[in-house]
Structures are given as C-alpha cells and as structure tokens.
C-alpha cells in the first residue's frame, strides 16, 4: 500500500521553536507585504507561479522545482538597489542572514552554484603554483566544465575515498602535497562536498580534516561545496552553525532542494568575501537589482528549509527506496537524504528496461547519471503512487 504523504500543494507549518533538529530559525522570518487586492488577484490568476504541476512528477533533479506564489509576492515587494555596488537592502539582509546561520562573518550573493564554487576557489588561491584536493566524485570538477583549472590554473588532485563513501583524514593526508619543492604543486585548498550524491559526510570526519588542514604551515583553506548541505541538516546530521565552524568558505545553493528560481551564496570571513567580490566581478556576476534574487531566496530558506517541506521529500525518497528493495530491486548506495541510486544491473535491468517505460507512467527521469532519482518538496502523492506502479512493472 502506498505511503500517504502530504501533496506538495498542502500547507506546511514551521517547526516548533523548541525542536532540536538544527532547523531553529536564528532570526525572525522575512516579512513582505503587498496590497490584499493584489494578492487576491495573483492567487485567483492562472500564473505559472500559482501551481507546481510541471514539477510534481519531475525526478531529474531538485533544481526542477517551480518558484512559488510566496516567492512572487516577495519579488513584487522587494527592494531594487544595485547589487554590484552593494546598495540593495534585501540583498544585504539575505547575506547577513545566511552568514549568521553558518556562523561566518560575511557572505556574497552569486548567480549560481557553479559561479559560487569558482568564486570561492579563486578567492582562496593567491600565488601559483597551487592545487585543490577534492573527492574524485565532486561536482565542481565533474559537472562544472573544469572551471577551477580553466579559471585559476589550479591542478585538481582527485581522491577516491578508501571507504567508498566519504573522504577521511587518512585519505587527505595520503594525497595532499605539503612540500614546496620546484617539482611539486602544493595543496592550497581542500574542497569537500556535503551532501555528495545524496550521502552525508559525518561531522567527525569534517572536524578531523579541518583541524589538520588549519594546523599546516601555511594553513590549507577548507572550502565546502554545500549546494545540498540543507539536506544533511534536515536529516539531522548537524546544524548549519556546527558545519560552518570547520570551513573557511561555504557555497550554498538556493535552487537545490529549497526551490528558489536562481541564486547561490558564498560565505566566509570579511576579508575573504572582499576578495570574492573581485572574483564575482571578473566572472560577470556583478548584477543590478539583486533584490529580485534575494527576495525569493529568503522565502525559499524560510518557507521550504525552515518550514519542514524538505523533510517530507526525504521521507518520499526513503519510501521509494524501501519499496524498490521490497520488490527485489537493488540499490547502488543506501538512501540517506533526497537522492536514490538504483543499481539497474544488479536489479537485472538494462537501460531499455528502465528509462523508456517511465514515460508511460508520466514520470520524468534523466539518464545523465544512470539509476539516479532525486526527490524534492513538490513531488506529488500521485507521482509517488505512479512511481510505485512503475517499480512493479519493471521488476516483475
């Protein structure tokens, strides 16, 4: 029997202030006001913002959400100052808000997660030669067009985790280059990712790597690609402040999971963010009315992340992975957050058995990474039920 989960259109309520899952709001929620008559007109209209129909069956990625009506209301009511010259009120408010959430001094709004990672690495790397040490599966060097090497000239040292799950201090120490001879490329940045492919890197391993990196001479900059760090927090692994304490910089994406239409943010020290502004400008990221981005991003964080909607998406992912296994299917890795990895070959399936059939059940999959399904807060109960029917069809 299908698990009954609230449809994406149902009202979600903020968590109780006394909750201990790391989702306590650090400041009051951002309040925006538009005239009641305008709100009534928007709600009664057939605007694309008024529903999530196109996203309700889309398992390609958690970036395929639809911006919501509260985001549109926030955009209508936002400030329209110049973001390039740091004059926009809503943008400054968001940057202060996110910096405080992770316990950093400052932050910088950027156009995308890719730009955020490139800005972060560029701001951390000063005098070549230098190298970046990263998990071999990391997003920034496998799905961002090789930008780190192209833009900074850095060599990327790709490390495969010995435990098959996440990097440990032993992995990092084995592959890091600490010597500065004329034949070698010193490690100047360690770039971690959490979550990575939906799996959580434990805080204890983050702490060990951070303490070791910062004890080196010179200290090694520790960056977090935290595009989906929201998911790890929702899963109860740690709080944003707990993870933030161990990193010199963090990139958080507003379009993955939390559902904003665009934007990411880079956090760090005030001195570091000053350098990051130059990097952003160099990459063409100096934007004008950035309040349009900041307003919807703030709603995404407050309404989706703090509002408990991401937890429901993780519950759907866990239900789907459990059902797949109950029907005889095999997983490539255990489901820890919102991403499910099916092992098609071990399940006795081919590409042709799986992907073409999805369309018959009105389900949207993507084959860029075989066997991957991503759940987000706008996946509907109806789509979840059809997904179960699809599993039964392909596995029997």
Cα separation, 375 vs 317, in Å, equals 6
CATH class of 309-395: alpha beta
Map out the domains of the chain as residue ranges.
70-305, 309-395
Cα separation, 325 vs 142, in Å, equals 29
* Chain position carrying tokens 């997983």: 331
Q: Fold identical between 70-305 and 309-395?
A: no
Confidence (pLDDT) at 295: 97
Q: How far is CA 98 from the centre of its chain?
A: 14
Confidence (pLDDT) at 258: 97
Cα separation, 391 vs 396, in Å, equals 8
Confidence (pLDDT) at 4: 40
Confidence (pLDDT) at 25: 52
Confidence (pLDDT) at 26: 47
Phi, psi (degrees; rounded to nearest 5) at 362? 55, 50
Confidence (pLDDT) at 291: 97
Confidence (pLDDT) at 22: 55
Confidence (pLDDT) at 31: 56
Confidence (pLDDT) at 17: 31
Render each residue's pLDDT in the chain as its tens digit; 396 residues. 344 433 333 333 333 333 344 565 544 444 557 777 777 777 777 788 888 999 999 999 999 999 999 999 999 999 999 999 999 999 999 999 999 999 999 999 999 999 999 999 999 999 999 999 999 999 888 888 888 888 888 999 999 999 999 999 999 999 999 999 999 999 999 999 999 999 999 999 999 999 999 999 999 999 999 999 999 999 999 999 999 999 999 999 999 999 999 999 999 999 999 999 999 999 999 999 999 999 999 999 999 999 999 999 999 999 999 999 999 999 999 999 999 999 999 999 999 999 999 999 999 999 999 999 999 999 999 999 999 999 999 998
pTM: 0.90
Contacts of 206 (CB under 8 A, 6+ apart): 192, 194, 243, 246
**Helices 36-44 and 69-77, packing angle to 10 deg:** 140
CATH class of 70-305: alpha beta
Confidence (pLDDT) at 11: 34
Q: Which helix (H) or strand (E) holds 394?
A: helix 381-395
Confidence (pLDDT) at 3: 44
From residue 170, how far is each of 157, 160, 358 by CA, in Å?
Answer: 15, 11, 42
Confidence (pLDDT) at 255: 97
Strands 131-135 and 155-159: parallel
């Amino acid at each position: 029997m299908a698990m009954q989960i609230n449809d994406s259109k149902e009202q979600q309520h903020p968590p109780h202030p006394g909750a201990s899952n790391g989702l306590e709001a650090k400041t009051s929620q951002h309040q925006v006001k538009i005239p009641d008559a305008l709100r009534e007109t928007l709600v009664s209209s057939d605007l694309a913002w008024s529903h999530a129909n196109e996203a309700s069956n889309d398992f390609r990625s958690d970036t395929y959400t639809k911006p919501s009506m509260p985001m549109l209301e926030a955009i209508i009511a936002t400030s329209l100052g110049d973001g390039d010259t740091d004059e926009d009120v809503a943008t400054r408010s968001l940057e202060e808000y996110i910096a405080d959430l992770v316990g950093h001094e400052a932050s910088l709004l950027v156009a995308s997660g890719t730009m955020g990672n490139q800005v972060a690495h560029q701001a951390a790397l000063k005098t070549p030669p230098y190298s970046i040490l990263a998990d071999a599966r990391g997003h920034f060097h496998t799905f961002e067009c090789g930008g780190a090497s192209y833009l900074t000239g850095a060599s990327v040292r790709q490390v495969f985790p010995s435990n098959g799950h996440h990097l440990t201090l032993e992995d990092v120490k084995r592959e890091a280059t600490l010597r500065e001879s004329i034949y070698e490329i010193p490690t100047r940045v360690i770039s971690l990712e959490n979550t990575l492919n939906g799996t959580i890197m434990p805080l204890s391993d983050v702490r060990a790597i951070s303490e070791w990196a910062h004890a080196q001479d010179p200290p090694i900059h520790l960056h977090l690609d935290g595009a989906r760090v929201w998911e790890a927090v929702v899963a109860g692994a740690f709080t944003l402040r707990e993870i933030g304490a161990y990193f010199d910089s963090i990139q958080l994406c507003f379009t993955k999971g939390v559902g904003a239409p665009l934007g990411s943010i880079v956090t760090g020290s005030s001195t570091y963010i000053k350098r990051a502004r130059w990097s952003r400008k160099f990459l063409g990221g100096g934007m004008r009315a950035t309040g349009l981005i900041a307003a919807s991003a703030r709603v995404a964080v407050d309404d989706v992340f703090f509002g408990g909607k991401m937890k429901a998406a993780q519950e759907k992912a866990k239900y789907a992975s459990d059902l797949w296994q109950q029907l005889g299917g095999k997983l490539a890795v255990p489901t820890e957050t919102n991403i499910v990895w099916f092992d098609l070959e071990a399940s006795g399936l081919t590409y042709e058995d799986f992907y073409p059939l999805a369309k018959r059940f009105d389900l949207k999959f993507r084959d860029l990474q075989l066997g991957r399904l991503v759940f987000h807060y706008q996946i509907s109960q109806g789509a979840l039920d059809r997904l179960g029917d699809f599993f039964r069809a392909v596995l029997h």
